[in-house]
Amino acid sequence: MESLVEDGDSVSEDAYCSSTDNKESSASTQKQPPIYVKNCSALNLIKLYKDNKLEINFKIKNTAKNSCKLTTAKIEIYQRTINTLKRLNVEFITFTHKSQKPKSILLKGPHEETTCDQVHSELTKQLSAEVKINKISLFSGKPNSGITFLVQTTSDSDSKPLTNIKSLNYQIIKWERLRKKELLQCRRCQTPGHVAINCNMAYRCVKCTNIHEPGQCTVNKENNDTVSCVLCGKTGHPASYRGCEVRTREMKKIMNRNKTRTNPLVKKTSKQTYAEALTERPSQDHMQQQHFRAATRQQSNTTDEYKQSATSFIHGNAVHHTNNPYGNIHNNYELSNSVIDTLSNNNDVVVI
């Protein structure tokens, strides 16, 4: 089956927001979200704009045969491009602009009977910023773990005054970051990595492979014999089933791509000069020269020991046989030649 994520540049909603988290700038100067056009080549898109006498004020990058990536310079151009593509019925996906994405923090500790209105009232007493409260359910497995609220503030607000609040209605509370263990899945096209509000793809039902409008599915989701997955085409589970092979594969593909783009530990290596490289780590030729010199010194020391031993042996025997010059001369001659042959094999010459 053809991959759902065609182009190599596509990332997820979380990856785009993470890449712009450290950029404190206005919405007009921030990096705009990319627009991924599907089922329409760059040439066809250019022709469509020219036929409708529209101005092309974005850059196009070819990502596949029938797909391309659009980048805009300003948020006004980005919004205008989105509206134009919708009017021309061009299929695309994009991401929420960072200026429009609220900051989300988890509030833990209040009693389980605490309501959202009570939390909102207590927080607004201590804060001037506007907050939005939602009660959520987390399966922690711990008894009496209390209730958890999702607190959202505007993207340009400072979350530090909020997290400095340590008690709420005399109850000790704690704040935690919202950690998403899994990527979001679009409820419009069922593709992982983006949400339905940023999707202009053709609608695909989560329960069947038939083509119909939202809310018109006649399949009973409780009956596994009639439910089918639009991602893998198999019967027995919906497109939102976590055990779907295609869904799992596409999730891993996007998450691995996000890690290489957002992981602060993955740094690009800077270019070094030749002198810096030699200073930090000796070259291979230099190391070979060092090993050769060390081996030569060791061989030279061994050869000197052979010389000294051979000379002492020969001269000692010569003195010993002075009174008997003709005795055992032949044996001494053979021993001397044997020692010389040994030294010669060590690439040295001994003159006696």
Together in a domain, 76 and 107:
no
pLDDT (0 to 100) of residue 253: 84
CB 151 within 8 A of CB 107: yes
Together in a domain, 26 and 110:
no
Q: Report in angstroms the alpha-carbon separations of 248 from 185, 189, 210, 241, 244.
A: 11, 16, 22, 9, 6
Together in a domain, 62 and 115:
no
Together in a domain, 41 and 134:
no
Helices (H) and strands (E) in the chain, counts: 9, 10
Together in a domain, 55 and 80:
yes
Q: Report in angstroms the alpha-carbon separations of 245 from 4, 12, 188, 229, 233.
A: 12, 19, 20, 11, 11
- pLDDT, one tens digit per residue, over 26-83 is 555 678 999 999 999 999 999 999 999 999 999 999 999 999 999 999 999 999 999 9
Together in a domain, 96 and 106:
no
pLDDT band at 326 (very low <50, low <70, confident <90, very high): very low
313 within some domain: yes
Integer Cα distance of 320 and 312 in angstroms: 12
Total structural domains in the chain?
A: 3
Domain range holding 328?
Answer: 279-345
Integer Cα distance of 116 and 134 in angstroms: 6
Residue 298's CB is within 10 A of a number of other CB atoms, namely 10
247 within some domain: no
DSSP per-residue codes, 17-46: HHHTTT----TTTSPPPPEEE-S--HHHHH
pLDDT (0 to 100) of residue 334: 46
Of the residues 36, 67, 100, the one at which a domain ends = 100
Together in a domain, 131 and 60:
no
In 3D, which of 140, 248, 233 has the Cα closest to residue 185? 248
Better-scored residue on pLDDT, 42 or 306 = 42
- pLDDT, one tens digit per residue, over 257-303 is 767 655 544 455 555 565 655 555 555 566 666 666 766 666 666 55
Main-chain phi, psi angles of 135, to 5 degrees: -90, 130
- Angle at 119 (CA atoms; ends 117, 124), nearest 5 degrees: 95
Together in a domain, 57 and 113:
no
Conformational region of residue 307, where left means phi above 0, alpha means psi within -120 to 50, and beta covers everything else = alpha
- pLDDT, one tens digit per residue, over 139-190 is 555 655 568 999 998 888 888 889 999 999 899 999 998 877 677 899 999 9
Integer Cα distance of 315 and 313 in angstroms: 6
298 within some domain: yes
DSSP summary character for residue 302:
H
30 within some domain: yes
Residue 164's CB is within 10 A of a number of other CB atoms, namely 10
In 3D, which of 156, 176, 171 has the Cα closest to residue 98? 156
Together in a domain, 18 and 110:
no
Task: For residue 95, give the CATH number of its domain.
Answer: 3.30.70
183 within some domain: no
Instruction: Give this prediction's pTM.
Output: 0.61
DSSP summary character for residue 193:
T
Integer Cα distance of 290 and 278 in angstroms: 14
Together in a domain, 68 and 119:
no
20 within some domain: yes
Q: For the chain, how far is it from start to end, CA to CA, in angstroms?
A: 86
258 within some domain: no
DSSP 3-state assignment of 8? coil
- pLDDT, one tens digit per residue, over 191-239 is 988 999 999 999 999 999 998 988 899 888 777 788 999 999 999 999 9
Of the residues 100, 129, 150, the one at which a domain ends = 100
Burial of 101 (0-12, 13-18, 19+ CB in 10 A): middle
pLDDT (0 to 100) of residue 278: 56
139 within some domain: yes
Burial of 12 (0-12, 13-18, 19+ CB in 10 A): buried
